[in-house]
Structure 1
Amino acid sequence: MCNAGIELSLIGIGTGNPEHLTLEAVRALNALDLILIPNKGSGKDDLAGLRQAICADVIPAPGPKIVEFDLPLRDPAIKDYKARVDHWHDAIAQVWIETIRSHLPEGSARVGFLVWGDPSLYDSTMRIAERLKSKQEIALKVIPGITSIQALTAAHAIPLNEIGAPFIVTTGRQLRENGWPDSADTVVIMLDGECSFQAIDPTGVEIWWSAYAGMENQISVSGPLAEVTAEIIETRAQARADHGWIMDIYLLRRS
């Protein structure tokens, strides 16, 4: 049974490379009583395993208690995208609180989640954590981490934007449905499972693409979009088949 109040830390861990952890993140991990690691199911076991490896690398024994838990699936019967995600987040929050109550050692209060990349960027961990406040007294702390955008630009040794020019970070869904945003010539695309760069006119567009950015098995392809589209699609499909999962990100720039 856990305390009335819980200190919940969301700790950005970069993109799976233990060397991406900041000193602040290492200190925060070592101060916890309980670490929760989501298991996304068959084919994505590596993601839980990488979090376990990171903990083993930076936390001396005996360390905090580490518990893996199964994430609920999105309900395909809910057709509206935002409603489906909202329902899913409610279900995840319920699993979180049940797992915390079951596994937090008596007299302890410090719980942590290892968040891929940074909790601020296209990650819903903070939104889910806010739901917990209606179920339990929660004090929330966020430790920033290296983002996949930083890992992408480092992999290709390029700046994120042109001199004095804006850029936009958006999703594959937005690129497919709404096309190139009007307000920037540089666009970073995340959360794209469908190679949505195929939906735009490739004329005058350069792409810098990376999968597993920052990790040992990082793959990178760049060049004129019209020339490297097929290579990226084939490379991505093969990498996903090899690993059972893929995380990729890319930057598009119009000349």
Structure 2
Amino acid sequence: MSDAPRHILVIGMGAGNPDHLTLAAVKAMRRAQVFFVLGKGREKESLTRLRRDILAEHLTGPYRVVEAEDPWRDRTQDDRGRYTSAVHDWRHRRADICERLIIEELAPGETAAFLVWGDPSLYDSTLAILEDIQARGTVEFGHEVIPGISSVSALAARHRTSLNQVGRPIHITPGRRLAEGFPDDDGDIVVMLDGHESFTHLTGRGLWIYWGAYIGTPDELLVSGPLDEVAERISRVRAEARERHGWIMDTYLLRHAPQDARGTESAHGTESSGGTDS
């Protein structure tokens, strides 16, 4: 066994609904002997609990769950250069932890898995961290990626809309870049990681918003409508949810008001909450 390779699976587990797991994800989970989980503190312990619930629902054979505390990250930097430096520093310290887990908790010949929110290729650091560890040369392992349903796809599905309109591009951006200006090419924009509610600075442009938080979970919140009319409502709902849960994960789609949405809905927008049946 000492010469057998270690192997790591990076598994997209969807946006929050346990039913978002694909068959490929479930099959991959059943190949792993150990699951690595980086906890994010007491305020987000529900995220760790959901991972354990998913494992309990889909796995019957023996497996281990090894938890470690996610390192602190400086989220106060607004300057682009300082923000990028803070993220690189956080990822490096995260790589230190993952490197230790692989060396100490994954025996040669075993397979480990990281369950990643949404899809591992979209705004997640796991793949970059594994590349960092491989570049260090301290431990050898192979890895593969199993895609998942992203919050972007889930958002569009819950609002019963498509991400693109005919002949128009789609942009996916963090909120901090949106704050620098709305693109001029009449495309549609998906915004993630917007802790500063950048959409509030884009009123008066004839935009429509499809917003969602905790998508796919029993706490799901959805609001859609003309941005000018629902921006304040989203800010209020967002603040109340953050106060209630201690954290929030939200995503939204912005586009110039679609022709098929100009009717009774456009007068006041729509709002729903309370899970996947809302």
The interval holding the TM-score normalised by the smaller chain is: over 0.9
Q: Distance in 2 between matches of 1:2 and 1:38?
A: 27
Structure 2 counterpart of 1:217: 219
Q: Counterparts in 2 of 1:56-135, with a 5 A limit?
A: 56-60=56-60, 62-75=61-74, 80-104=82-106, 106-133=107-134, 134=136, 135=138
Structure 1: stretches of 5+ with no match in the other structure: none
Q: Counterparts in 2 of 1:170-185, with a 5 A limit?
A: 170-176=173-179, 178-185=180-187
Determine what percentage of the aligned residue pairs are the same residue. Answer: 42
Do residues 163 (structure 1) and 163 (structure 2) align? no
Deviation of residue 42 (structure 1)? 2.1
SS state at 2:195 partner: coil
Aligned residues: 252
CA contact (8 A) 1:168 1:184 kept: no
Alpha carbons of structure 1 residues 17 and 76: separation in structure 2 relative to 1, 3 Å: closer
Larger mean Cα displacement after TM superposition, 75-84 or 95-104: 75-84
Structure 2 counterpart of 1:208: 210
CA contact (8 A) 1:179 1:199 kept: no
Alpha carbons of structure 1 residues 2 and 200: separation in structure 2 relative to 1, 3 Å: farther
Structure 2 counterpart of 1:150: 153
Q: Which runs of 4+ in 1 moved over 3 A?
A: 1-5, 75-79
Q: Distance in 2 between matches of 1:245 and 1:2?
A: 43
Alpha-carbon RMSD:
2.0
TM-score (norm 1): 0.93
Q: Distance in 2 between matches of 1:244 and 1:155?
A: 24
Structure 2: stretches of 5+ with no match in the other structure: 258-278
Q: Distance in 2 between matches of 1:59 and 1:140?
A: 21
Deviation of residue 216 (structure 1)? 2.2
* Deviations, residues 202-250 of structure 1 (Å, cap 9, x unaligned): 3311101000112222110011111101110110111112222211000
